[in-house]
Structure formats: structure tokens, C-alpha cells
Amino acid sequence: MTAGGILLEVAAQAGYHGIMTRSSGPQIRGGEAAAMLRISTFPVESHADVFDILVGVDWLNAERFRAEIPLGPDSLVVGDLDGRPPAEYLATGARLLALPLSRLAREREGGRENMVALGAISALAALPRGLFEGVLNALLGRKGSEAVVSGMACIEAGAQCVAGESGTFALAPPAPTRGAIWNISGNEAAGLGAIRGGVRFVAAYPITPATELLEWMAPALEQVGGVLVQAEDELASVNQLIGASFGGTPSLTATSGPGLALMTESIGLAVASETPVVVVDVMRGGPSTGIPTKSEQGDLNIALYGLHGDAPHLVLAPLSVADCLFTTQWAVHLAEKLQTAAIVLSDQSLGQTRALIERPAEVAFVSGRSIQRTPVAGYQRYALGGDGVSPMALPGTPGCQYTADGLEHAPSGTPSSRAEDHRRQLDKRRDKLTGHDYGDHWALIEGDGDVVVLTWGSSLAPVREARRSLAGRGIDVRIVAPRLLMPVQPARMREALSGASRVLVVEQSHGAQFLHYLQAFYPRERGYESLAQPGPLPIRPEQVVERFNPRGSR
Amino acid sequence: MEQLSTRQAALKPKDYKSDNKPVWCPGCGDFSVLSAFTKAMSAMTLDPERVAVISGIGCSSRIPAYLNVYGFHAVHGRALPVAIGLKITRPDLTVLVAGGDGDGFSIGGNHFLQACRRNVDITYVVMDNQVYGMTKGQASPTTAPDWMRSKLTPHGTRINPFYPLVIALASGANFIARASSNDPNGTARVIAEAVEHPGFSFVQVLSPCVTFRPEQRDWKKIVRPAPVAPTADPAVAARRLMTDDNFFIGTLFKGGRAPFESGFAPRAEVAGELERSFGLTA
């Protein structure tokens, strides 16, 4: 992971685009891990169909990543030969290149295999070696100058060792000018979006793969006078948010599937009591403990339908690493404005991927909660009428005392089990969401071809890659990827799909949850085609290309 | 938040009551606890709008709606986290939590332990009647193991009861007291003392359920003031609490732990401040 991070930063400074995703074994801390990088002359968000170079720093258990690391006959497998690269990789027809990592590292004081590997990659990809020292200084400098010196010696040795193959995978020169570039993960981007949206209180319980979001936010919140509390469990987390939000502070938590499951009862309380909260679910393989370290889009159903009773709430999904910032910020804004709960569905693949992105433009979405600031005779917290959003009095405001309640209530907040009060409050909580104008942000729409791919979340990246590839073959694909999953936007979706001859639904879910959601809320006379596969394998661009341009027809 | 009102004269206890009529059975101990809440607030001359009472689910948890303060009637067992989130972000408010033994010690049991540990400056009043009244008479964590009047556990629970004061002390509560609904004035004094003591204050109020535990009417004959002054020494308090018969009332422990400080002082983001870590290292 360290070497991968250095490589990504060097690529960034050289002017390239890139991403680094990570995968690790079930033990989370320690054990086998794979850093997967793509470096490119144009912006990229997903991996290509095959990797060019596989470097084995340690081959122990490396075969476990075989399915996640596709290789082809043009690929190169690099590493210690006596450590036995797994046969599974060589069966792809990939070429083998010996690199005596251990020996080269051992021969240098403080030498490490991963730095030797880094040197080999830098030579194969013809990355400017001059950039490494500065990056090593920045990233390893706190370990002392010896780490930098020995790191550089190892990089040099690795590069020399593969000199015969230098430039085999040389990148074209990068595009000359770019704006400011950020090296950021989806989890960090979501954290920044939260703070930009006005979040100043976070309560959370550690869980993979959401923990880094929280670890980024803890010091960042301090910088803006906010607080992160590590709570005793997810039940406490979400209820602390409700308390803080009742007091007027925009509040957010981050979790993964198991934590979201624990929170659902109280997310319903936030809906019923009209207390804004935001829950970011960085999805991982499920059900149950599932695959904590790897990605899957399997929490769509619980996010959409997991609350008991009729509990209209917001469900949003970021569409890229960079979009984790925008969508989280927008979610905070909407939750605050509409006084409800918002669930943001990120996933391991977005959250733990580092990407080189252009600095995102700042957007004006900040918490805009409707507040009753002055005393008013006969204040009714849950008053009916208007757009359904009733001004909220914060504790401290004289003359507006009320009790927020998860029991069904009259407009005053007084508990009521009368049929008419229930009906009116249900209507109110629904109408304030359905009546809101979400604007063009509801979805990303690209192209206007009459074949359409409908997808969401992290599956968008390979779909975009496939679209580029198909365009090169004269096939124009339209992409529709909703960022707002609930409330549904039937009129907008109708327009987005108008004139479509085929609609392929692409998702990373064994049960085709997204397909079933579309069939329920956006029924289409001609139906949908489905490309649904479980995690942790990402959708590969070629799988999408294949649907529109089968191999035989090329 | 700026001070929004200055009152000419102290409010009377009834000024802290709302117009909502309690759902409790006639004779329920909780009426007296409600009255103790209002007496304590009046005695402390609190501004009603600067008080928040948070509760979960159960008969006693209905109390916020009967008060003329800000309230939150949350889900079963989670009142403490709601109150903690509120107090951390609104240290200017007086935050109380009210509820019953099932809400606090069974479904919310872990939050009770963690709230004692965290020592946020709130006051937790548990109306303990050793039964689930709202669901018509099941055993709670404080019910004796041989109580056989519940259809759910016809042979008794046969499990050890929970001793909330001992647990509170062991978990780090900074103020521990027991009161009796038979003595609303004494209960009011203890609640006021608990509110004024910094950190997490825990008050158990013996509050009979006359419907499902009619024998608890006799509690008034058993409860008596503890013949000791409050101690600040946890070892002394431990001995005291481990050996009492659960019917001594009064303030039993006043600890000296500093309350949880979060440093919460929100401000707008300074443009660019948080972005620096994402820029390239060169």
C-alpha cells in the first residue's frame, strides 16, 4: 500500500491521471493485500479489463486475488522466481520477468522489497525517476532520512534490474496543462463534503471500510470546532446524532451494512420526529459479516426499504470518488432542508480508492434548516400546510417548547393515535420529499444514443469506460445513473429514457436489487436487460461492451 | 446561543407542567415523580426553554410531554445517547433523562454503562417499579427472580436481578442517589442536587406500579433515609451500596471526576483550510 501510494503520487506529479484501489484478505489488519493502480493520460475512474504489470512483493496467498487481477498474454508478471509466482497468474499466458526482490533489498541497508518493486515499475512504465526522491521525502520523511536514502537505493536497483525491459509499458506524455490536482479517497471526499455541508457533529462506531472516513473527520472536525464521538455501538451513534440535531447541529455518521442494520429503528425515529440526520453506508460484501474488505452494492434494499412503517426518507449514491464530496454535501443539505433522514450509499470501492482528480468546484449547498427563531403563540412543531416542512424550534427558544416524538402525533407534537392525525402526518412527511425540486443533480446523464445503460454508484465507472470503447466502434451509448434513489423521479426518468430501444441495467448485486427497484418504480413496457453480478469482482468494461458489440460481430 | 429571556420572578412548579394529561394509572408513583421534576426546576429557577428532558419508551418515559420544557420521546432504550448528543453540542442546556427500569437497564443497559463511563453532565432519573407496565406486567431486570405473576415467566425469571446503583458506581457515575415517590419533596431535592452536581448523575426513584405490583404500595413502610452522609470515596460507596437492602434513600455518592469535555465550538470552514492535505506533495 505504501509503494502504491508513492507510485500514485509520482504519477500525479508527472502530470498523469490515475486511481489506486485496494483489496485485502479477510483479516483486515495484516495479511495479504493488493494495491491496484491504473495510470493514464486521461481521467480514469475504474480499472481496464486487464492489468499490464503484476509485481509480487510477497507471493504468499497472492492467488486469492486472481479473479480481481485479470491478466492477458501481453501482461508481465514480475517478482522473485524462487518465491514461486502462483501458477494461476501464469496460466493467463502472461510473461514472467525475474526480479530478485529479496536479494536486492537485503543488499542495501534498510532496504525493502516494496521499494525495489517500485523501481522496477518506474522503469517499465518510464516514469521520471527524478520525482521519487521528493515524494519519498514527503511520504516517508517522518521515518528519518535513512528511509529515504535506502528507499532511493532500492528504487534504483529495481530499475537497473529490469533495464532490459525499460519502457515496455511506457506511457504517452501527459497532457500539458491541468488545474489543481487532488490525491483523495472517496472516504476523505465524503468527509470533506460533510463538513462543507455544515456537519459539526459525528458519532460513530468503527467498521470496515468506513473507518477511514471517520479517521479523516476526527481531526478535520476539530479544525472547525466540531466533535467526533466514538460511541459504544451503532445504536448509540445514530441516537447521539438525533440528540445533536434536535439541538440544531447538522450531524452525520458513517458505517457499513451491519451498522446500518442496527441503526434502522432510529433512522425511523429521525423520520417520524423530523430530525435531520445523515448516515453514510460504505457498503461491503454481505449479508452478515460478509466480506468486510471488499465491495458490493448489496445494501440498496435495506437503504430503500429497511425502515419499519411508511417512513419516507432520502437515499443518495455518489457516482465516483470525486462525487463522494458532492453527493455527501448535497445529502446534508437535503436532510437539513427537508428535516428527514438521508442515507448515502458509498461502497468500499469508492471509499478506499485513491484517485487523482481535478479540484472539485465548491457548491453552495449548505444546511438550510427552517428554524422557528422567535416566540410564537400556539407554536406547532409539526404544523400542516405549505410544502410540508414546518419550522423547527431549537431548545433555548422561549415560548416554543415542544416534545419531539416517535409516537404518531398531532401537529403540536402531542401523541395521537387518531386516524386523521396519522394520515395527515404521513402525508406531510411524504409530500415534503416528493414536492421538492431536486434539479438536474438527480442523475448523471451522458450521451443520447438509443441504447441505454442504467447504473448506479461505483458501477458507473466501468460503464463509462465501456461507453468510450463502444464509441470507438461507432456505437453511441447513453448512460443514465441516478444519484438520487429515493424519492423516485418518474417524470425525469421518463425523459432520460425517452427513445431508448434497449436499456441494460448494470449493478454489483447478486439479487439484482437495482433492477427490481427500477421495475417497481420506473416500469418500462419493453422491460430491462440485466447485468448483475455479486462483489467483490468489479464490473469490467468488457462485460458491458460485450452486450452491445458481441465478439463475433466485430 | 444568547440568553433569550430574563424572568422577573421564579416560576412555580405548575408553570413547568404542560396541558397534556398523563396516561398513568391512578395511584402510579410516576405522578409524584412528575411533581418532583417540576418542584426541582422551580427550586433551581430554571428557564423552561433551557431545559430538555429526554426519554425512551415505557410508562415513565411519557414524562417529557407532561412538562413545559423541550422534550424528546425517543425509541426504546436509547434516551441516553440522544441526551448525550444533545448535551455535547448544547452545553448551555440543562439536560435530564427520564425512564424506567426496563428501558434503562435491559434494552438500554449498555448505554447506561457507557453513559456512566463517559460522564457527560446530564442527570438520569429512573423510575424503578421492577416491572414492564406498558406491556402489562412482565419481569424487568430489577424484578426478583422468584416473582411469578407474569404470564411470560410463570416460574419466575430465575435470573439474578440487576443492582443499578452498584453498577453505576462501578461504571463511573459521578453522583448516585436513591429516592422514593412517596416523598416528592425529598425526590425534588435529590433531583436538584443531581442536576447541580457536575458529570453524569444517576437517581433511582422507587416508584410503585400499583396495577401490576400492588404489593409495592407497602414500599412506603420500608423506605427510610440512609443513616449516612454522601461520600466522595468510591470504596466507601461500594461497601455501602453492596450491603444496603435497596430501600435506603438519599444521596449516597458524590464523586469528584471532571465531566466529559468535548470542546464543541462550531464555526464556519475557512476556505481551503481542509483542502491542503489533498494537494500534491510537490
A contact residues 391-430, partner B, Cβ 8 Å cutoff: 394-407, 413-415
A292-344 pLDDT tens trace: 999 999 999 999 999 999 999 999 999 999 999 999 999 999 999 999 999 99
Grid cell of B281 as nine digits: 506533495
CATH of the domain at A523: 3.40.50.920
Instruction: Tell whether A478 and A522 lie within a shared domain.
Output: yes
Instruction: Tell whether A61 and A159 lie within a shared domain.
Output: yes
Q: Alpha carbon of A384 to those of A374, A412, A426, B65, B187: distances in Å? A: 19, 10, 11, 20, 40
Mean pLDDT to the nearest integer, B69-77: 98
Closest CA to A329 of A379, A366, A292: A366
Instruction: Tell whether A348 and A416 lie within a shared domain.
Output: no
A contact residues 242-301, partner B, Cβ 8 Å cutoff: 242-249, 251, 265-266, 268-269, 273
pLDDT at A367: 74
Contacts of A235 in chain B (CB under 8 A): 77-78, 81, 111
Instruction: Give the span between the Cα atoms of B236 and A121, in whole angstroms.
Output: 68
Mean pLDDT to the nearest integer, A264-290: 98
Instruction: Tell whether A65 and A101 lie within a shared domain.
Output: yes
| Side chain identity, residue A554 | R
Beta pairing, strands B51-55 & B70-73 = parallel
Choose one of A436, A461, A477: the last residue of a domain: A436
Mean pLDDT to the nearest integer, B147-172: 97
Q: Does residue B274 belong to the interface with chain A, where contact is any CB pair within 8 Å?
A: yes
Instruction: Please give the biggest Cα pair distance in chain A.
Output: 85
- pTM value is 0.96
CATH of the domain at A112: 3.40.920.10
ipTM surpassing 0.95, yes or no?
Answer: yes
Q: Would residue A346 count as lying in a domain?
A: yes
Looking at the 3D structure of chain A, how many domains does it have? 4
Which residue range forms the structural domain that includes residue A261? Answer: 183-358
Mean pLDDT to the nearest integer, B50-65: 98
B92-108 pLDDT tens trace: 999 999 999 999 999 99
pLDDT at B2: 39
pLDDT at A274: 98
A375-417 pLDDT tens trace: 999 999 999 999 999 999 999 999 999 999 999 999 999 999 9
Q: Would residue A176 count as lying in a domain?
A: no
Q: Would residue A345 count as lying in a domain?
A: yes
A contact residues 353-392, partner B, Cβ 8 Å cutoff: 359, 362
Q: Tell me which of A185, A246, A252, A328 to substitute to probe the interface with B (most B C-beta atoms closer than 10 Å).
A: A246
B contact residues 83-102, partner A, Cβ 8 Å cutoff: 83-90, 92-93
Contacts of B20 in chain A (CB under 8 A): 414
Mean pLDDT to the nearest integer, A34-57: 93
Could you tell me the domains of chain B? 22-278 (3.40.50.970)
Q: Is the separation of the CB atoms in A346 and A324 below 8 Å?
A: yes
Instruction: Tell whether A234 and A332 lie within a shared domain.
Output: yes
Q: Would residue A458 count as lying in a domain?
A: yes
Instruction: Tell whether A230 and A95 lie within a shared domain.
Output: no
Instruction: Tell whether A348 and A224 lie within a shared domain.
Output: yes
Per-residue confidence band for A85, with pLDDT thresholds at 50, 70 and 90: confident
pLDDT at A362: 84
Closest CA to B89 of B122, B61, B58: B122
pLDDT at B188 over 80: yes
Per-residue confidence band for B8, with pLDDT thresholds at 50, 70 and 90: low
pLDDT at A380: 98
Instruction: Give the span between the Cα atoms of A485 and B123, in whole angstroms.
Output: 41
Instruction: Tell whether A353 and A386 lie within a shared domain.
Output: no
User: What is the DSSP annotation of B126-184?
Assistant: EEE-SSBTTTTSB--TTS-TT----SSSTT---SPPP-HHHHHHHHT-SEEEEEETT-H
Grid cell of A253 as nine digits: 455518521
Mean pLDDT to the nearest integer, A146-150: 92
Mean pLDDT to the nearest integer, A254-279: 98
Instruction: Tell whether A308 and A450 lie within a shared domain.
Output: no
Q: Would residue A263 count as lying in a domain?
A: yes
CATH of the domain at A278: 3.40.50.970
Q: Would residue A478 count as lying in a domain?
A: yes
B contact residues 105-144, partner A, Cβ 8 Å cutoff: 110-111, 113-114
Contacts of B112 in chain A (CB under 8 A): none
Instruction: Tell whether A235 and A109 lie within a shared domain.
Output: no
pLDDT at B237 over 90: yes
Strand residues in A157-231 grouped as ranges (E)? 181-185, 201-204, 227-230
Mean of the per-residue pLDDT values of chain A: 95
pLDDT at A447: 96
Strand residues in chain B grouped as ranges (E)? 51-55, 70-73, 94-100, 123-128, 175-180, 201-206, 224-225, 248-254
| Side chain identity, residue A525 | E
Q: Does residue B50 belong to the interface with chain A, where contact is any CB pair within 8 Å?
A: yes
Closest CA to A248 of A391, A133, A143, A116: A391
Q: Would residue A233 count as lying in a domain?
A: yes
Chain-centre distance of CA B65, in angstroms? 16
pLDDT at B1: 38
Choose one of A436, A458, A481: the last residue of a domain: A436
Instruction: Tell whether A377 and A326 lie within a shared domain.
Output: no
Per-residue confidence band for A142, with pLDDT thresholds at 50, 70 and 90: confident
Q: Alpha carbon of B188 to those of A489, B61, B178, B183, B192: distances in Å? A: 55, 18, 12, 9, 6
Instruction: Give the span between the Cα atoms of A56 and A58, in whole angstroms.
Output: 5
pLDDT at B6 over 60: no
In SS3 terms, A242-267 reads as: HHHHHCCCCEEEEECHHHHHHHHHHH
A480-505 pLDDT tens trace: 999 999 999 999 999 999 999 999 99
B193-205 pLDDT tens trace: 999 999 999 999 9
**CB A223 to CB B273 under 8 A?**
yes
Per-residue confidence band for A140, with pLDDT thresholds at 50, 70 and 90: confident
Q: Would residue A173 count as lying in a domain?
A: no
B98-144 pLDDT tens trace: 999 999 999 999 999 999 999 999 999 999 999 999 999 999 999 99
Chain B nearest CA to A407, separation (Å): 8
In percent, the amount of chain A with pLDDT more than 70 equals 99
**CB B75 to CB A406 under 8 A?**
yes
Instruction: Tell whether A161 and A284 lie within a shared domain.
Output: no
Q: Torsion angle, CA of A242/A246/A249/A252, rounded to 10 degrees?
A: 20
